[in-house]
């Protein structure tokens, strides 16, 4: 009985020492850019339409949970005709209105985040794009500043993996590889 009491006491003490903090994505401080080759030129696009949350204990970043949602109807390549094709034919936003990411694991050499000191982590999760869900691994640099959390990273995607239509101009089809760069900024939610 004494052993059981001791185990329960240790368990409750370790649970109490975990300080889960919740953060909400701030779209005005976040951005996503994407670049893809169209054979004769490079297509550059941007989006600032984010939502999402980050929850976890800064003493153990590997237990954090991240959910991000993008609204592709606001992707902008500074070409209205191209944007219309991207939204209606490639991304089919009426059928698939959001691009979503949910973390499944985080790996870090040092589990504990130090305020105002950048740390490199590997975020693993499921990316849902165009109705297709795929496991992705994203190297991310995080910066925790008590009331704010910032994550910078990049990811290479293949449009064919997500059955995204690649438009063609004359004989040249949009390339399959897309380079995605992002900055996710989130503010702490008061308890």
Distance of CA 56 to the CA centre of its chain: 16
pTM listed for this prediction: 0.86
Q: How do the domains of the chain map onto residue ranges? A: 20-188
Neighbours of 82 (CB within 10 A): 17
Please give the residue that has the higher pLDDT: either 10 or 49: 49
pLDDT tens figures, 54-113: 999 999 999 999 999 999 999 999 999 999 999 999 999 999 999 999 999 999 999 999
Which pLDDT band holds residue 174 (cuts at 50, 70, 90)? confident
- Candidates 63, 66, 53, 52; CA nearest to 20 is 63
Parallel, antiparallel, or unpaired: how do β-strands 168-169 and 172-173 relate?
antiparallel
According to DSSP, the residues that pair with 56 across neighbouring strands are 21
Say yes or no to pLDDT of 40 above 80.
Answer: no
**Domain formed by 20-188, architecture:** Beta Barrel (2.40)
Residue 6: pLDDT band (50, 70, 90) is: very low
Q: What is the pLDDT of residue 170?
A: 61
What pLDDT, on a 0 to 100 scale, did the predictor assign at position 2?
52
Which comes out higher in pLDDT, residue 73 or 10?
73
User: For residue 15, what pLDDT is reported?
Assistant: 41
Query: Contact, 180 vs 154, CB < 8 A?
Result: yes
At 42 the pLDDT is 87
Residue 18: per-residue pLDDT: 62
Per-residue pLDDT tens over the stretch 118-172: 999 999 999 999 999 999 999 999 999 989 999 999 999 999 999 999 987 666 7
Between these two residues, 13 and 37, which has the higher pLDDT value? 37
Phi, psi of 45 (to 5 degrees): -135, 165
Give SS3 for 84. helix
């Amino acid at each position: 009985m004494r052993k059981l009491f001791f185990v329960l006491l240790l368990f409750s003490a370790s649970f109490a020492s975990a300080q889960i903090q919740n953060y909400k994505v701030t779209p005005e401080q976040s951005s996503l850019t994407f670049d893809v080759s169209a054979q004769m030129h490079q297509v550059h696009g941007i989006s600032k339409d984010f939502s999402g949350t980050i929850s976890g204990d800064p003493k153990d970043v590997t237990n954090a949970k991240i959910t991000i949602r993008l609204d592709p109807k606001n992707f902008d390549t500074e070409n209205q005709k191209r944007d219309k094709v991207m939204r209606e034919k490639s991304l089919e936003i009426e059928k698939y209105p959001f691009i979503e990411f949910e973390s499944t694991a985080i790996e870090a050499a040092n589990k504990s985040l130090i305020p105002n000191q950048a740390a490199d982590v590997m975020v693993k999760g499921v990316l849902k794009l165009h109705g297709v869900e795929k496991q992705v691994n994203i190297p991310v640099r995080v910066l925790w500043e008590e009331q704010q959390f910032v994550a910078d990273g990049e990811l290479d995607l293949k449009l064919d993996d997500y059955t995204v239509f690649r438009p063609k101009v004359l004989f040249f089809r949009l390339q399959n590889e897309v380079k995605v760069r992002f900055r996710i900024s989130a503010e702490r939610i008061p308890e």
